[in-house]
Structure 1
Amino acid sequence: MRIHSAAIVYFDAVRRAGSIREAARRLNVASSAVNRQIVKLEAEIGAPLFERLPAGLKLTAAGEAIARHALVVLQDLERARSDIEGLRGARAGHIAVSTVEGVCGALLPEVIGTLRARAPRVTIAVSTMGSFAIPDAIAAGDADVGVAFALRRAPELRQVAVSRFKLGAIVPPDHPLASRRTVSLAACLDHPIILATPELSINQLLGPALARLPRSFEPCVTASSIELMRELAERGAGIAFQTRIGLERQLADGRLVHVPLDNGGPVWSDLGVYVRAGRSLPAVLDLFLQILAGALAAREQLENARG
C-alpha cells in the first residue's frame, strides 16, 4: 500500500540504507528515480535533508525532522493495512523485533509459535543486540517492538509489559556452589569469573556490587555473548551470571544450576517489552504483544513460586 507520496517512501529508504544506491536496490527501482524524489523533496522543504559524506549520507537537522514525520506516517499506514486485512477476516502484517539474546532460547520461540498458529500470514524479523541499543532501534523505526533487560524509562518509549527475574550464578551441577540456595558475589570470587561486557545489562547490574567488594579480581573471560557465557559455564570454565530466561533447556536437562545472588537481598533484573511512545499499534502487533506479555507473566509467576 503506497497511498502516500513516493518521496516519503524513498526518503525513508535512503535514511535507513545510508545511500541512494543501496536504497534503490532495496526498493528495486533505479537510483535516478530515488535521487529525483529526494531532490524534489528538498526543493519543496527548502533545505537539504542529507549531508553527502565520504562514508555515506547523514541526516541534517531538517532531515531529522522529516524522518520523525515519515516514521509516524509509514507506521500509521502499516496499522491501516493491518486493520483493512482484519476487515477481510485475515490477520496479516510484518513485525520487526529487536531483542536481547537470552529470550531467543525458549521465550521468543514459544511466542512466535503461538502467534503463527493464530495468524499464519504474519511475517516476523528478529535481530539480537544489547539492551542499551534497543531504544535506538525502536526510535529509528528499525524495530516495532523491543525486548530488553534493565532499561531506564525514556520518553520515546512505552513500556508494554515488564517482569522481574533474579540474577544468579550459573554453574554445572558438580560445582562447589551448585548445592547452595543463594550465593554472594564474594563467594563467587573464590572461583574463575566470566563477566559480561558493558553493552550488556548484566554488567550494569553487577557493577556497583562488584565495586563494593573488599578485594579486586580479574575475570577469566569477558564476553558480549550470552550464549558463549552459558556454554563456558556449562563446560566448567568459570561462573557466569544470568537470569533463568534463556536457560530453560539447560536447567531442565540438569546441565546447569542457577543459584540466585544474595547481595543483601536478591539482585533483580527487569525484562521489559517496549514500543515507540504514541504509536497506534496494528492489530497483529497488538496480538503479538498480548502473547508475549502473557508468556512473561507466566515465567515471573514461576520465579516467584520458587521463593
Structure 2
Amino acid sequence: MLHSRVLHYIDEVARYGSIRAAGARLHVAPSAINRQILLLEEELGEPLFERLPRGMRPTPAGEVLLAHVRRTLQEYREAVTEIRDLQSLPSGEVVIATMTGLASSIVSTATVNFHARHPEVRISIRALSTHEILRAVADSEADLGLGFNVPSSPQLELCWQMDTRLGAVIAPAHPLARLESIPLAQCAAYPLIFADRSMVIHGIIADTFAEAGLKVEPAFHTNSIETMKRLAAAGEAIAFLSRFDMAEDHHNGTLAFRPVRDRAFSNNILSLVRREKHGPGPAALLFAEEIIQTLESVAHPPL
C-alpha cells in the first residue's frame, strides 16, 4: 500500500512483454493496467512502451523509469524485511568472558548501548584470566571471549584483533599530561604502578624498562587493573595499560593516556573470539557486533 500499484504494473509488463500476461500475473484486468500506463505516459509526456505486434517493449524513457521502479520496489522489500525482523527480536542470555579492565570499560559501554536496543537479551559478564577466557569459550561456558594475548586455538574463531600497545596512564593534572607522548626515562622519576608477576603485562613492562637500561623499583604492585587506575587517578603515580583498559575513564576525564615516545612496548594483542563450531546464536552475534563497534571507536576516535 505504500507504493502505487502502477509501479508493479510497469515492472510486470516489462518483465513479460505483455499487458495481458501482466494482468494474469497480478490478477488485474488488462484494461486497468493499460489505462494506468496511458495516464502515466500522458503525465510524463513520453511513451514508456513500444506497442509491437507481439508484445510491448520499454522505450528509452521506459528503461529509465523501469530502473527507478525496480530500485524503489527493492528498497521497499528490504524495509519490509527489516520491519518483520523487529517482530522476532533476539532474546535469551549472552555470556561474555573478559578481563576486569575491559569489563569496566569496553564491555560495560557496549552492554549499555546494546541493552537500549535489545532489552529482552540478558548479558552476563564474567571477569577471568587469559587462560580462563580461552577455556570458558572452548567449553561453551561463554559465548564470547575478549582478552589480551589469548592463545590461538582450533576451537576458537577470531572475530576481531588488534595490537594495543601499552602506554602511560596518568591523572589529567599530572605534570607529564601536558606532553603528547612521554619518554620512558621521565616516567622513572615518578611513582610507578606495575602489574604483578601473575599478569602477562608484568613481563612486557619490566622487560621494556630493563632493555632501556632503566633500573626502577615500582611503588605499587597489583593484579587488579581497577586498582592500577585508581592509584594513577589519585596522584602522580603512573600505570602502564592499553587505551582499551581505560576507555571509560578517558571518556569521563578521570585518566589520560599518553604513548611512550622512545621505547615501544612489545605486542599486547587484544582479541574477541567465539566458538569455532556450533557458534553463538543470533543474540550473541549481535552483541559481538556491538563489542566490535565499541572497540573500533576507541581504536579510531573521531577527530
TM-score range (shorter-chain normalised) is: 0.5 to 0.7
* Displacement after TM superposition at 1:199 (Å): 3.5
Cα deviation, 1:42-97, whole Å, max 9, x if unaligned, reads: xxxxxxxxxxxxxxxxxxxxxxxxxxxxxxxxxxxxxxxxxxxx998242222111
2:134 corresponding residue in structure 1 = 135
158 and 207 in structure 1: CA distance in 2 versus 1, 3 angstrom threshold:
farther
Q: Percent identity?
A: 25
Partner amino acid, structure 2, of 1:139: A
The TM-score with structure 1 as length reference comes to: 0.63
Map 1:77-226 onto structure 2 (within 5 A).
89-226=88-225
1:234 and 2:233 are equivalent in the alignment: yes
Quick check: 2:232–2:238 contact (8 Å CA) kept in 1?
A: yes
* Displacement after TM superposition at 1:98 (Å): 0.9
153 and 246 in structure 1: CA distance in 2 versus 1, 3 angstrom threshold:
same
Quick check: 2:94–2:123 contact (8 Å CA) kept in 1?
A: yes
| Aligned-partner Cα distance in 1 for 2:149–2:199 | 10
Quick check: 1:166–1:261 contact (8 Å CA) kept in 2?
A: no
Quick check: 1:145–1:273 contact (8 Å CA) kept in 2?
A: yes
Partner amino acid, structure 2, of 1:292: I
Q: Considering only CA atoms, is the larger Rg found in Structure 1 or Structure 2?
A: 2
281 and 248 in structure 1: CA distance in 2 versus 1, 3 angstrom threshold:
closer
The TM-score with structure 2 as length reference comes to: 0.64
| Aligned-partner Cα distance in 2 for 1:173–1:114 | 27
| Aligned-partner Cα distance in 1 for 2:126–2:135 | 13
* Displacement after TM superposition at 1:163 (Å): 3.3
Tell me the secondary structure at the aligned position of residue 245 of structure 1: helix
- For structure 2, the 5+ residue unaligned runs are 1-84
Partner amino acid, structure 2, of 1:102: G
* Displacement after TM superposition at 1:268 (Å): 5.5
1:23 corresponding residue in structure 2 = none
Quick check: 2:182–2:261 contact (8 Å CA) kept in 1?
A: yes
What is the Cα-based RMSD across aligned positions, in Å?
2.6
| Aligned-partner Cα distance in 1 for 2:225–2:291 | 21
Quick check: 2:145–2:273 contact (8 Å CA) kept in 1?
A: yes
* Displacement after TM superposition at 1:205 (Å): 2.8
| Aligned-partner Cα distance in 1 for 2:179–2:130 | 30
107 and 253 in structure 1: CA distance in 2 versus 1, 3 angstrom threshold:
closer
191 and 155 in structure 1: CA distance in 2 versus 1, 3 angstrom threshold:
same
1:297 corresponding residue in structure 2 = 296
* Displacement after TM superposition at 1:267 (Å): 5.7
219 and 265 in structure 1: CA distance in 2 versus 1, 3 angstrom threshold:
closer
* Displacement after TM superposition at 1:197 (Å): 1.9
Tell me the secondary structure at the aligned position of residue 213 of structure 2: coil
Tell me the secondary structure at the aligned position of residue 261 of structure 1: coil
Partner amino acid, structure 1, of 2:244: I
- For structure 1, the 5+ residue unaligned runs are 1-85
117 and 256 in structure 1: CA distance in 2 versus 1, 3 angstrom threshold:
closer
Partner amino acid, structure 1, of 2:257: H
* Displacement after TM superposition at 1:180 (Å): 1.7
Quick check: 1:184–1:262 contact (8 Å CA) kept in 2?
A: yes
| Aligned-partner Cα distance in 1 for 2:291–2:120 | 18
Aligned residues: 219
95 and 187 in structure 1: CA distance in 2 versus 1, 3 angstrom threshold:
same
Cα deviation, 1:84-113, whole Å, max 9, x if unaligned, reads: xx9982422221111112223342223223
Partner amino acid, structure 1, of 2:100: E
| Aligned-partner Cα distance in 1 for 2:172–2:89 | 49
* Displacement after TM superposition at 1:162 (Å): 1.8
251 and 90 in structure 1: CA distance in 2 versus 1, 3 angstrom threshold:
closer
2:287 corresponding residue in structure 1 = 288
